[in-house]
Chain A
Amino acid sequence: MSDGLAGLRAELLSTPMLAIGLTLAAFLTGSRLFVRLGRPGWCPAVLIAAMMLAATLAITGIDYDDYRAGAGWLMLLLGPATVALGVPLYQQLPRIRELWRPILYTLPPAAMLASLYSVGLAWLLGASPDVLASLAPKSVTAPIAIGITEQLGGVIPLMMGGLLITGVMATAFVGLLSRQLGIRDERILGFVLGVNGHVIGTVRAFEHGATAGAFASLGMSLTGIFSALFLPLAWRLVGL
């Protein structure tokens, strides 16, 4: 009986279709559940979907590497999707021109520190080099972060986990600190959410309003570009 099931599982896994189907199903169910739960800020849709998918793999006894080999076909689309991010970036150019000065002063140190605080802390606490490389792009939007991690020699699943935690924590801390400091400027809140909390922060910013959302997408794309240029160079300089 269980031999038969194992045979069926092996047969279905012989093409990438099972992995692709499971991913699509988990994504759709996760998104629906997220809306049903009232869009909780601490638990983004991707997290729900990923947990359901992980549980499904564990229950059906599918090896993660087998799943990953199939789902890799889906991840091929990340390349064109990254190129597609050029469209919103182009659409935000007028805002960049308008406020180029504060952006120029704020973005490079903010994007550098978003990475360096955590990498520095992990280094002080004795983390291994592959962990440091996985934490470095923690505030960078996923498609760009994957490219960075591959170059630095990090572990992609660990980096993704870090990304998720960072997005959730950044959203929480921006809410907390801005209330403490009495900051209500949507442009500032949006930008800070995008720079620190990538996609997850940007989604939260759109809930504040359209201005916050636009500044968050701006902060997110600029942090991504800047980090993609800065982190590999920094890594090469430090000699990791």
Chain B
Amino acid sequence: MSSVRGFLWLVGFLLLGEALVWLLPLPVSPGVVGMLTMTLWLMLRGRVGEDIQAASQPLIAVLAMLIMPGVVGVFFVTDEFAGQWLIIGVALVLGTLLSVATTLWLMQRFMPKADPGE
């Protein structure tokens, strides 16, 4: 029953997210608003209850499975973007190389050297 109660909490926060997005035309998805309000609620309570833990842990564990129907689609849109695959590949690989280099540099610049945590 614990996980059912926890799942009701998650659904409740998701619905709250939907309502907030509709009320204050936010440019964010309801799930993200639900996640943030959930975080705020946990901060107010000061702990993660057993119910919410019981429902959220298994869901997070199967996140990869929940996105699979979308991932599989990439093998079936090949024709649609026929002329652009090279562009997409270059943009992804080069863009990722540049952003990894920048983040490493920024982090090294601003991270306190204090404890050599290894």
Q: Which residues of A contact B (CB under 8 A)?
A: 19, 23-24, 26-27, 45-47, 49-51, 53-54, 57, 64, 67-68, 71-72, 74-75, 77-91, 93, 99, 101-102, 105-106, 109-110, 113-114, 117-122, 125-128, 131, 135, 138-139, 142-144, 146-148, 150-151, 155-166, 169-170, 173-174, 177-178, 181, 183-188, 191-192, 195-196, 199, 211, 224-225, 228-229, 232-233, 236
A27-B64, A161-B74 given. 7 additional CB < 8 A pairs? Answer: A75-B67, A81-B60, A119-B91, A121-B95, A162-B92, A183-B104, A186-B117
Contact A196 B100 (CB under 8 A): yes
Chain A residues closer than 8 Å to B74, beta-carbon distance: 50, 157-158, 160-161, 164
Most buried by A among B73, B89, B111: B73
B108 near A188 with CB under 8 A, answer yes
State which residues 72-94 of B face A: CB under 8 Å. 72-77, 80-81, 84, 87-94
Q: How far is the CB of B107 from chain A (nearest CB, A)?
A: 5
Cβ-defined contact, A85 with B73, below 8 A? no
Report B's interface with A, CB cutoff 8 A.
7, 10-11, 13-14, 17, 27-32, 34-39, 42-43, 48, 52-53, 55-57, 59-60, 62-77, 80-81, 84, 87-104, 106-108, 110-112, 116-118
Output the least CB separation between B18 and chain A (Å): 9
User: A188 to B11, Cβ gap below 8 A?
Assistant: no
- A185 engages B91 (CB within 8 Å): no
Chain B positions within 8 Å of A77 at CB level = 59, 66
CA distance A128 to B80 in the complex (A): 12
The distance from the CB of A172 to the nearest CB of chain B, in whole angstroms, is 9
Chain A residue numbers with a CB within 8 Å of B95 are: 114, 117-121, 135, 138
Kindly state the separation between the CA atoms of A146 and B38 in the bound complex, as whole angstroms.
20
Would A75 and B104 count as touching, CB distance under 8 A? no
State A96–B29 Cα separation when bound (angstroms): 24
Partner of B92, one of A105, A169, A195: A169
Which among A26, A74, A83 has the greatest number of chain B C-beta atoms within 10 A?
A83
Q: Is B59 touching A178 in the complex (CB atoms < 8 A)?
A: no
Binding site of A, secondary structure by majority: helix, strand, loop or mixed?
A: helix
Selected contact of A125 from candidates B11, B90, B101, CB within 8 Å = B90
CB neighbours of A102 from chain B (8 A) = 107, 110-112
Alpha-carbon gap, A72 to B55, bound state (A): 21
Can you list 24 A-B pairs, Cβ within 8 angstroms, ordered by A?
Answer: A64-B72, A80-B14, A80-B59, A81-B62, A82-B14, A83-B35, A86-B36, A87-B60, A89-B35, A90-B48, A101-B110, A109-B102, A125-B90, A138-B96, A143-B66, A143-B67, A147-B30, A158-B74, A160-B71, A162-B92, A165-B92, A187-B111, A192-B104, A196-B100
Contact of A118 among B35, B64, B96 (CB under 8 A): B96
Chain A residues, Cβ within 8 Å of B110: 101-102, 105-106
Closest B residue to A209 by beta carbon equals: B118
Asked whether A151 lies within 8 Å of B117 as measured between CB atoms, the reply is no
**For A113, what are the chain B residues with a Cβ–Cβ distance below 8 Å?**
98-99, 102-103
The residue in chain B whose Cβ has the minimal distance to the Cβ of A173 is B100
Give the contacting residue for B100; candidates A47, A170, A199, A224; CB below 8 A.
A170
